[in-house]
Amino acid sequence: MTASAAPKAPVTPREQLLNRIQRDIPIVQRPYAQVAAEVGLSEAEALAILREVKAEGVLRQVSAIFDTRTLGYQSSLVAAVYDEDTLDAGAEIVNTHPGVSHNYKRNHDFNLWYTIAVPPESDLEAHVQKLHDLSGARLTRLMPTLHLFKIGVEFDMTGKEDWNAKSAPQYTSEQRNIGYAVTELDRAFVLEFQKDLPVTEEPYADACAALGLSIDEVAAHAQKMKAAGALRRVSAVFRHQKAGFTFNAMGVWAVPQDEVAVTGRKMAEFKAVSHCYLRPTYPEWPYTIFTMVHGRSKGEAFGKIKAIEEEVAPGIDHAILYSTKEYKKIRLEFYKPEFAEWARQYLGTEV
């Protein structure tokens, strides 16, 4: 297996556009005119392409991406063990929690993996323990982020990048601001910008009207939230499967503790890696660093993990966990009443 994704061919303006809008969409009155000019298209051409991929289901939404931790939410990846004959039913119970945004069956003894986030005043461990009890799990392990080396999903829509291509991570632990005091304007901004923004000439018009601010004032506040680490970016989010990335692989690595800082940073530089975290170990779980990649095939996804191994982690014990069933995948929505409703019903509290 080589480190090359495919034979090289010229990149089209359409492919450049689909790559470009995953990085960020500027907060200006007519952002698509600006983005289109960067890739050699007119505004009308760019909008026609984006409306087409939206209609096809490839483009899930255009919205802001916020940092849960900076907004005060507590979050964690959770790994759980279920008997095979109770797994589907257990996963459906986990899905009822409003803070569970991703939930997958994977090829491991830990056969259910989900992400959960709860509001600032909530007890994360209590929520996870209740899910453990309700869903009939045999073992549940919290795997929170101890250090964020990278987060940022960007699919190579050209199919022409090398599997070992590099770029600096857009968002890491250094941008996070734990303890940030969220303002009322921040909350209002989040409620408007977590919505699916329209693919129109002026996609921010409704948000500006709702906030009672001009586009320049909204842009200035967005920049403040970015500087604080609360807002990562406004960008397009694609559906993995519809975009052709039908396979994901979570490479987990037993990197020694005294090497995790250097190794994690090196792994995060791979463009193919969308997520790179340091997580806790347990007696039955020796892996410290998690790297997520996506591919158009199992061979491509495994090839990307192999490229990381050969360049950064030769000889390091590792495993590749891949999804065999998707139970839930949504965007987390902040400041929603469903959290309090779930807590009242299952925990007997408001949080």
User: DSSP string spanning 189-241?
Assistant: HHHHHTS---SSSSTTHHHHHHHT--HHHHHHHHHHHHHHTSEEEEEEEE-TT
Any residues with CB less than 8 A from the CB of 347 and at least 6 apart, and which?
126, 127, 130
Give residue 226's region: left, alpha or beta (phi > 0; psi -120 to 50): alpha
Q: How far is C-alpha 22 from the chain's CA centre? A: 12
DSSP letter at 285?
B
Give the integer Cα–Cα distance in Å for 320 and 302: 8
Residue 102 known to be catalytic: yes
Strands 59-66 and 273-278, bridge-based pairing: unpaired
Q: Which amino acid is at 60?
A: R
Q: Say which of 102, 132, 240, 294 is annotated catalytic.
A: 102
User: DSSP string spanning 293-324?
Assistant: EEESSHHHHHHHHHHHHHHH-TT--EEEEEEE
Cβ neighbours of 68 (radius 10 Å): 19
Any residues with CB less than 8 A from the CB of 78 and at least 6 apart, and which?
113, 114, 115, 116, 128, 131, 140, 141, 142, 143
Q: Which amino acid is at 129?
A: Q
Active-site annotation, residues: 102
